[in-house]
Chain A
Amino acid sequence: MRIFTLLMLLCLVPIDLSAAERIGPVPIGSEKNISGDFTQKRVLTGFDQPFITTGQFYLLPKKGLAWIVQEPFASQLIMTDHNIVQVVNGVAAQMEGADRVAKIIMNMIHPVLVGDWKSLQQDFDIKEQSIVKKTLEWRVVLMPKHDALTATLAKLIVTGRDKTEALTILKPNGDRDEIQFSAQKVVDEPPAKALELFQISEVK
C-alpha cells in the first residue's frame, strides 16, 4: 500500500510541475462553451469615478460571444464573425459603427479566456509573461502589432490562475478597461438562453 501511495505521489509530481510552468488557464479545448460573470471597470481620465458594468457572458465557439449587461442598465451585445448586434428590450440593432478595433477587442475575449496566445499573436506581440510559482498566478502583457490598433490600444494585460481572471485594456491617452471574469463554467452543450440571444441577433 505504501508503495502504491508512493507511486501515486510520484505520478502527481509531473502534474504539479506542469501547472507551475503553465502560463495561461487550464486548457479546455477550443470547442468548449464557456459562461460566467463579468465586472467591467472603465476608468476614463478626468472622471473621478470609474464606470462599472456587471453581467454575464456566454462564449460559444461556433456562434460567438453574448455579453449580457445587467447593471447599470439592461442590454445585450451579441457578436458573431460578421457583425455586432446590440439588443435592448428585445429589439436588435446592428452596430454599424463597430469598426475593426472594436471587433478585435470583442474577438479577443475567447482566446483570452482559453489562453489561446497563438491566436492573439495575430494582432498582438507578447511582450512579457510571468508566473508566481507560489500562487500559480500568471500574467501576460501584449502589445498591438498594427498601426490601426496602436492608435487606439496601448497594451493588454491578461492575468489568472486555473482560469483567466482579468483582462486590462490600456489606451494611449491613459483610459483603461478592467474586466474581471468570475464563476466561469465550461459546458459541452450551449445553454438555451444563450442560443436564444443568438437567434434574436440572426433575425436582425
Chain B
Amino acid sequence: MKRAAFIWMVSLALLLLGAGISLWTGQTRMVSDITSLFPQEHETSLEALALEQSGDQLSRNIVVLLGHSQEFVVRDAQSRLKADLVKIDHIRIKDISRKSLENLQNLQAGAIGSLASWDDYTALKKGDGMPLIQRALGAFYLPGSLINSDQIHQDPLGLYQRFLFQMSKTMGQTTFNGEDGNFYGQIVVTLSSEKPENVNAVDLLASIDLALQKLQSNVPDLQLYVIGSPYYARAIAEISKSEATTITGFAIAGILILLLLAFRSVQSIVGAVITISSGVLCGAGATVLIFGTVHVIAIAFGSTLVGVVVDYAIHFYFLRRADENAHQTAGRIRSGLFMAIGTTVAGFCALLFVDVDVLRQIAIYSVFGVLGAGASVLIVLPVVPGAASTKNKPLQPTSKMRLFHYRWMTPKRVPIMAALAVILLVLIGFGRLPSDDTVQNLRVNTPQLSKAENLIARVGGTAHTRLLLIKGTSDQEILQREDQLKKYLSQNAAGTSMLGVSSIIPSAARQSETCRLSRALLKTDAAQPLLKLISHRVEACGVLKLTDTSWSQLPDFVQQLRVNGPEGQAHMVLLSGVGPGLDIQGLTDKLPFISELNVASHYQDGFSKMRQRATIALVIGMFVMVVVFMLTFGLRRGLSAVIVPVFAALSALTVAAFLGSGLTLFSVMAGFLVFALGADYSLFQLAAHEDDEDRAYFAVGLSSLSTLLVFALLSGSAIPVLQSMGVVVVVGVSIAWLIAPVACTKFEGESV
C-alpha cells in the first residue's frame, strides 16, 4: 500500500513537472480575453468573417482619452504621448502620422480637383456653388487660410483642402469639445496580432502605462483615461489572481479549522490538504498538458473543485472506526466513493461533447481533479502517519438531529420533488427561465475602468458607434454604395460621422462627377472674380482608383475595413455619434446590401449557444444518472437517491435565474457542481452501513458546511462569473443537504 502511495505521489510530482515545463516553454499559454472563449467559426459568410476580423481587432484596441480646459494642452499631450507610444514595439497607433499623411497626399495628388468633401460634393450637385466661390475668394485674403499655390491652378475652389480636413476629422485627428466644456483628444492603440509568443499583452500594457504615467507627471492637471478589452482582460486576470489567493486562502483556512474542530487531529488536516492538492494538481496539470491554450476562467472554475474534493477526505475520516485500520476504512467506503466520483465524472464528461474549448477545459479539470483526489483518499490517506491509529476518533455526533431530519424528510416527499424536478427540467431544458448572456457577465468593473468608460462614452461618443457591412461585387460598386449610405445618413441622421474607405478614396463615379460639376461652376459668371485672380488653370482632373497598390498605401486601420471571402467582398463602415434618430432596421431595409455587425450581440449569441449546449449536457447527464441510479439501487431507492442532486441543481438554477438577472453560462456550470455535490451527499448517506449512519450524516453536514464556506466567499467576489456561481452553489448545497436524507430513509418494513 505504501508502495502504491509512493508511486502515486511520484506520478503527481511528474505531472506537476510536465505541466510546469509546458507552461515555461510556452507550449501551453494562459489567456484571459473574451475572444479565446469562443470556438473558431468555420463559417465563410462575409458577416462571419467581418465579425471575426472586427471582434479580433476590438479585443486588442485601447482607447486613451486626454482632457483639459485648454485645447493646446490636449494637442501637446497627444503629440507627446504618441511620440512615446511609437517607441513601444508590437503596438500600433490608429493615427495618420505626418509620414502616412504625406503618403496619402502623394496618392491623392493626381486626383486633386476630383476629391471633395461630402458637403462640397452635395453643394455642387445641388447647384449651390456660390458659397464655394466665396470661400475660395476668401482664401486669397483671409488670415489663417490654408490656400496652397501648388494646388490652386488645379483646384481653384479649394475642394481638396476641405476634403483633407474632413478626412482628418473622420479619423479622429481633431480635438473636440466635451459636454463639460473641456477639450478632449483621443488616441486609439491596437496591440499587434503578430507579436511573438514571448511578448505578452501584460508587458505591452505595462509599457503603455509607463508612457501614460510619464505624461501625467509632466502635465499633472491633464485628465487621462484609458479603457479597452486588454485592460479589462488584465483586470480580470489581476482580480482572479488576488481573489484566487484570498478566497482559496480563507476557504482552506476555514475548512482546516472545521476539520480540526470536528476531528481534533492534525492527521485529518494533512489528509484534507493532500486530497485538495492532488485534486487541483491533477485537474490543472491535465488541463495544461492536454490543451495548448487554457483560459483563466477554466482554472478559476477548476479551483472551486476544492469544495467538492474535500468531501472525500471528510467522508474518509468520519467513517473511521475505532476497531479497524485505515486500509479497512478505505476499503469500506470505496464503493460509495466510486459512485460519488463516477457521478461527478459522468456529469462533467457530458461537457466534453460540447464544441467549446473552455467547457472542455472545465470538464477535463473537473474529471481529472475528482479522480486524482479520490485516488489520494484511497491510496495516500491510509498511509498518512497517524491515520491508522484508532485513538483519533472523530467527534461523535448526536443522533437526535439526524433522527429529526430523517423523520421530516421522508420518502413521501420524493414524488413531489420528482414532479417539481420534471417541471423545472422542462422549463430549463426548453429555455423558459430568464437568461442573461450579455458580455457584461465576463467583465470586471474596477472603479477606475468604470469611471473611464463612462467618461469616454459621454464625451468621446464611443457609446454611440455602429459597425456596418456593405457588400458588393467590386470595390467600385461598394464605394458607390458607401456614398448611398452617406446620403441616407445626411438625410436621416445628421451629426452621424462615417469612417469608410470612401473617406480616403471616394468612388470613381463621385470623383468624375465632382470634377465635371466644379469645372461647370467655374465657367459661370459668379466664378469670374475668382478666375481673374488665377492666371491659368488646369482643366482636366484625374481620378484615383482603388487598386491593390492604392490599398497597400492606405493606413492599416483602413485596410482592415476590407473583407474578402469565398462569397465575395465587402467593406466595413464605422458610424460614430449615432443618435437615437437613426433607425438601423429602416436603413438596412432601404439599402439591403448593408447589414449591421454587432460584436457585442455576436458574443452574446456565442454565450447563449454555449449556455444552451451546457444546459443540454447537464440535462442529459441528469437523465443518464437517473437511469444508472435506478439500475443500481432499484426503482424506488434509485429515484430517492438521484432526486437529491437533480432537485438541488434544478431548484438552485431556478432560484438563481429569478434572483439575479437570469441564467448564465456560468450559473449552468455551477449547476454541474451542485449536481456533483448533491450526488455525493446522497450516496455517502446511502452507502453508509447502519452503524455508520450518524457518522455519514455528520460527514455530509460538515461537507456542506465546508462547501458553503467556500462558495459563500465566492458569492461575494468582484468577478460576476464567480459571484453567480457562488450563489447557485450556496443555494444548491443548502437544498441538497436539506433533502439528502430522502436518499437513505427506510421504506416500509425498514427501521430508521
> In the assembled complex, which residues on chain B have CB atoms less than 8 Å from the CB atom of A199?
none
Which residues does chain B contribute within 8 Å of A44, judged by CB atoms? 147, 149, 152
Report A97-119 CB contacts with B as 1/0, cut-off 8 Å.
Answer: 11111110110010000000000
A37 cross-chain contacts in B, Cβ below 8 A? none
- List the B residue with the shortest CB-CB distance to A57: B143
Chain-A contact segment, one of B50-58, B133-141, B409-417: B133-141
How far does the alpha carbon of A156 sit from the alpha carbon of B169 in the complex, in Å? 26
Nearest residue, chain A, Cβ from B174: A100
Query: Is residue A14 within 8 Å, beta carbon to beta carbon, of the partner chain?
Result: no
Chain A contacts for B153, CB-based, 8 A: 46
Give the residues in chain A near B97, CB-CB below 8 Å: 147
Would you call A152 an interface residue if the criterion is a C-beta within 8 Å of the partner chain's C-beta atoms?
Answer: yes
Q: Which of the segments A28-36, A71-79, A157-165 contacts the partner chain? A: A71-79
B175 within 8 A of A: yes
Interfacial residues of chain B within 135-185, with CB under 8 A of chain A in the complex: 135, 137-138, 140-150, 152-153, 161-162, 165-166, 168-169, 173-175, 177
Q: Are A175 and B148 also in contact (CB < 8 A) when A99-B174, A146-B75 are?
A: yes
Bound Cα distance from A69 to B134, whole angstroms: 14
A200 at the interface (CB under 8 A from B): no
- Nearest CB in chain B: distance from A176 CB, A: 10
- In-complex Cβ contact of A102 among B137, B145, B166, B177 (8 A): B145
Give every chain A residue within 8 A of B535 (Cβ-Cβ): 46-48
**Judging by beta carbons under 8 Å apart, are B146 and A102 in contact?**
yes
Q: Which residues of B contact A2 (CB under 8 A)?
A: none
Q: How far is the CB of B187 from chain A (nearest CB, A)?
A: 14
Min CB–CB distance B71 → chain A (angstroms): 8
A47-B149, A93-B131, A175-B148 in contact; A72/B141 too (CB < 8 A)?
yes
Contact of A173 among B119, B149, B162 (CB under 8 A): B149
Cα distance, A77 to B142, chains bound together (Å)? 8
Q: Which residues of A contact B173 (CB under 8 A)?
A: 148
Of the candidates A47, A82, A109, A150, the one having the most CB atoms from chain B within 10 angstroms of its own CB is A47
Chain B interface SS verdict (over half)? helix
Q: How many positions in chain B have a CB within 8 Å of any CB in the partner chain?
A: 42
Instruction: Mark out the residues of chain A between 157 and 187 whose CB falls within 8 Å of any chain B CB in the assembled complex.
Output: 171, 173-175, 177, 179
Q: Which of B73, B144, B148, B168 has the most CB of A within 10 A?
A: B144
A177/B143 in contact, CB under 8 A: yes
CA distance A75 to B101 in the complex (A): 33
Asked if residues A122 and B168 are in contact (CB atoms below 8 Å), the reply is no
Which A-B residue pairs are the 8 nearest by beta carbons? A147-B98, A44-B149, A102-B144, A105-B144, A53-B141, A122-B72, A45-B149, A106-B144
Besides A40-B143, A46-B149, A145-B79, 18 new A-B residue pairs in contact (Cβ under 8 A), listed by A number:
A44-B147, A46-B535, A51-B140, A53-B142, A69-B142, A96-B119, A97-B135, A97-B162, A99-B174, A100-B174, A101-B144, A122-B73, A123-B75, A147-B97, A148-B75, A148-B98, A152-B146, A171-B148
B residues bordering A, Cβ < 8 Å? Answer: 71-73, 75-76, 79, 97-98, 101-102, 117, 119, 131, 134-135, 137-138, 140-150, 152-153, 161-162, 165-166, 168-169, 173-175, 177, 533, 535
